[in-house]
Amino acid sequence: MYSIHASFSTTKLTHNLNAMNFKKSIRKIFSFQFFLFILVFSVGLNVAGQEINGFSIDKGKNKSDFQAENNKEKNQSKNELLLSSFRPGEIWKDNNGVHINAHGGGILFHKGTYYWFGEHKIEGSLGNTAQVGVHVYSSKDLYIWKDEGIALKVSDDPTSDIARGCILERPKVIFNKKTGKFVMWFHLELLGQGYDAARSGVAVSDSPTGPFTFLRSFRPNAGYWPVNVQEIHKRPVSDNIKSKYCGGKGCLPSHPDTLNILGRDFKGGQMARDMNLFVDDDGKAYHIYSSEENSTLHISQLSDDYISYSGRYGRFFSNRYMEGAAMFKAKGKYYLIASDCTGWAPNAARSAVSESVLGIWRELGNPAVGADSETTFHSQSTYILPVKEKRNQFIFMGDRWRPENAIDGRYIWLPIEFEGDRPVIRWKQEWSLNFFK
Ligand code: GAL
């Protein structure tokens, strides 16, 4: 306090200066003030930095060169300077200082850049419907995300499949090496039809950031039986399952395999709601989605150009109501992390392992452990992100939904650990990619 006070008492001090020393002393005083200014400024920056974007600052950073920092700040926003860790569940600001708006998202890694695609939500409960489209962000380091705008826009034409106000959820994008196209798939519910349509939408682009062109929407695998079809499915379908069910757990009057929902939808195509994509090492891509009134998970191999189906698919976890399913491959095995079916409310996650994509799948239990594991830390799985440069290292990505104010949904990113064959997710208030070292 004393030195700060003294440094600003310039009038008193200058009384004693003779003409010869005047310039020199002024210089000294100003350099002393300058030093103090830097000190105060950097303390202020540090304090402010604790709260910037819900991220911690890089405490190892030396801010001795004021001029350099000052110039940097002119060119970059504060969070660009300082983000170096993940803080699950907190506001996560993009390069413009705006909370990232990419819910139910997934990540594409292409030529050294990560692209995060997700549902753009607006404020209030209206945000649970698609008023804008699919938002895309890019990043080199997974901490700092640049807003790249709307990759796929909803249509102003009310007769379009993707008319504003439809439900467009869980968009995912993969790159097709043969066609050179970026291919987006999403769960689509037609305008004004609630969750009845249960369709898949497809869009393509020449650039990862879009604009994507909507191709069509449809129900998968019309006229095709799954590789593990049972005898019952080929029998005539009874009238009691032709009526509509709410789609949720407990809605169906009996076990889905006795009701034969698969057979019911054989001609028109299978229902497809919560979804994901997975590209295997051999370039084959798979669409994973909740089907048969959400009761059963389907995994369908896509066509070589990724814009339709190959006709080869399997049905798994019958009567388990798996949602938010996300697939990844580790140590030569295929893993799934999924949720139960409880709408926007979180529940206990599930995990499963298989030697091949189309089974046989074996459940491994809730991968979340510790406090709040019964709600997957108040989140629902949306994607498993391979950290490209490292082997067998993955990030669990989940959504903490806020249906009453959809835009305020939060992102839960946590590292996946392995205990033997079993993936395990532990809560972390804050963590960085150094965790994987
Ligand atoms: C969840 C699903 C979300 C959304 C929501 C609507 O179970 O995972 O993507 O469809 O239901 O209630």
Which tokens in the block code for residue 328?
């990844």
Residue 148 lies in a domain: no
- Across 409-429, average pLDDT: 97
Q: Are strands 368-369 and 422-426 parallel, antiparallel or unpaired?
A: parallel
Which pair of structure tokens corresponds to residue 147? Answer: 């807003």
User: Is residue 314 in a domain?
Assistant: no
User: Is 201 touching ligand 1 by the criterion CB < 6 Å?
Assistant: no
Return the pLDDT at 391: 75
Task: Give the pLDDT score at 352.
Answer: 98
The CA 380 to ligand 1 mean position distance, Å, reads 9
Average pLDDT of the segment spanning 95-102:
97
Mean pLDDT taken over the chain: 84
Sheet holding 103-110, edge to edge: 103-110, 113-119, 133-139, 146-153
Cβ partners under 8 Å of residue 253, min gap 6: 240, 259
DSSP assignment, residue 1?
Answer: -
Q: Whose CA is nearest to atom 1 of ligand 1?
A: 343
The domain in which residue 8 lies consists of 2-78
Ligand 1 atom with least separation from CA of 128: 6
Mean pLDDT within 39-62: 32
Query: Closest residue (by CA) to atom 11 of ligand 1?
Result: 343
Q: How long a stretch of residues is the chain?
A: 437
Segment (H or E) for 231: none
Q: How far does the centroid of ligand 1 lie from the alpha carbon of residue 429, in Å? A: 26
Report the alpha-carbon distance of residue 143 to residue 87 in Å, rounded. Answer: 10
Summarize pLDDT for 379-395 with one digit per residue, the tens: 999 999 999 667 789 99
Q: Does residue 169 have its Cβ closer than 6 Å to ligand 1? A: yes
Residue having the nearest C-alpha atom to atom 9 of ligand 1? 274
Specify the ligand 1 atom closest to the Cα of 195.
Answer: 10
pLDDT of residue 250: 75
Q: Minimal CA–CA distance to 410: which of 101, 168, 132?
A: 101
Q: Which residue has the tokens 């809730």?
A: 366
Q: Which CATH number do you get for residue 377?
A: 2.115.10.20
Atom number, ligand 1, closest to the C-alpha of residue 339? 8
Asked if residue 225 has pLDDT above 90, the reply is yes
Contact by Cβ (8 Å): 233, 225: yes
Domains in the chain, number: 2
Which of 119, 134, 169 has the most ligand 1 atoms within 8 A of CB, as the residue to mutate?
Answer: 169
Check pLDDT > 50 for residue 248: yes
Higher pLDDT, 69 or 147: 147
The predicted model scores a pTM of: 0.82
pLDDT of 328 higher than 80: yes
User: CA-CA distance, 320 to 435, in Å (whole number)?
Assistant: 33
386-409 average pLDDT score: 92
- Confidence label for 252 from pLDDT (cuts 50, 70 and 90): confident
Residue 369 has pLDDT above 90, yes or no: yes
Which neighbouring-strand residues pair with 176? 181
Domain endpoint, select from 78, 99, 119 = 78
Does residue 72 fall inside a structural domain?
A: yes
Task: Tell me if 393 is assigned to some domain.
Answer: yes
Query: Please, which pLDDT band fits residue 255 given cuts at 50, 70 and 90?
Result: confident
**pLDDT level of residue 132 (50, 70, 90 thresholds):** very high
**Residue 18 pLDDT exceeds 50:** no
* 343 Ramachandran zone, left/alpha/beta (phi>0; psi -120 to 50): left
| Token pair of 302 as six digits | 């896509």
Contact call for residues 394 and 376 (beta carbons, < 8 A):
no
From the CB of 409, is ligand 1 less than 6 Å away?
no
Mutate to test the pocket of ligand 1, among 195, 273, 344 (most ligand atoms within 8 A of CB): 344
Q: What is residue 34's predicted lDDT score, i.e. its pLDDT?
A: 42
- pLDDT score recorded for residue 218: 98
31-54 average pLDDT score: 36
Across the range 414-431, mean pLDDT stands at: 96
- Tell me, what amino acid is at 57? I
314 lines ligand 1 (CB under 6 A): no
Whether residue 108 is predicted with pLDDT greater than 60 in this model: the reply is yes
Q: What value does the mean pLDDT take over residues 76-105?
A: 85
Six token digits for residue 68: 């350099």
Whether residue 77 is predicted with pLDDT greater than 50 in this model: the reply is no
Asked whether residue 210 is domain-assigned, the answer is no
pLDDT band per the 50, 70, 90 thresholds, residue 242:
low
For residues 60 and 39, the model is more confident at 39
Whether 97 lines ligand 1, by a CB cut-off of 6 Å, is no
Stretch 137-153: mean pLDDT: 98
Q: Give the rounded percent of residues in the chain with a pLDDT score beyond 90.
A: 73
Separation of CA 343 and ligand 1 centre (Å):
5
Hey, whose CA ends up nearest to atom 7 of ligand 1? 343
Given a contact cutoff of 8 angstroms between Cβ atoms, the answer to whether 204 and 183 are in contact is yes
Higher pLDDT, 292 or 64: 292
Going by CA atoms, what residue is nearest to atom 5 of ligand 1?
Answer: 343
C-alpha 110 to ligand 1 mean position (Å): 28
Does residue 118's CB lie within 6 angstroms of at least one atom of ligand 1? no
Assess whether the C-beta atom of 343 lies below 6 angstroms from ligand 1.
yes
- What pLDDT score was predicted for residue 254? 79
Instruction: For ligand 1, say whether the CB of 344 is within 6 Å of any of its atoms.
Output: yes
**Single residue among 33, 52, 78 that ends a domain in this structure:** 78
What's the rounded mean pLDDT across residues 128-149?
98
Residue 69, in any domain of the structure: yes
CA of 169 to the centre of ligand 1 (A): 8
How many helices (H) does the chain have, and how many strands (E)? 7, 21
Q: Among 54, 78, 102, give the residue marking a domain's end.
A: 78
Is residue 84 in some structural domain?
A: no
Instruction: Output the pLDDT for position 8.
Output: 26
Return the higher-pLDDT residue of 300 and 42: 300
With 80 as the cut, is the pLDDT of residue 309 above it? yes
62 alpha carbon – ligand 1 mean position (Å) = 45
Query: Is 348 part of any domain?
Result: yes
- Supply the pLDDT for residue 389: 61
pLDDT of residue 117: 99
Written as one string, the DSSP assignment of 361-414 is -EEEE--EESTTGGGTTT-EEEEEEE-TTSTT-EEEEEEE--GGGGGG-EEEEE
pLDDT at residue 243, rounded to an integer: 63
Residue range 28-57: average pLDDT? 36
Ligand 1 atom nearest 170 alpha carbon: 9
Pairwise pLDDT comparison (364 vs 21), residue with the higher score: 364
Instruction: Tell whether omega for the bond before 162 is within 30 degrees of 0, i.e. cis.
Output: no
3-state secondary structure of 47: helix
Is the CB–ligand 1 distance for residue 104 below 6 Å? yes
What is the Å distance from ligand 1's center to 379 Cα? 12
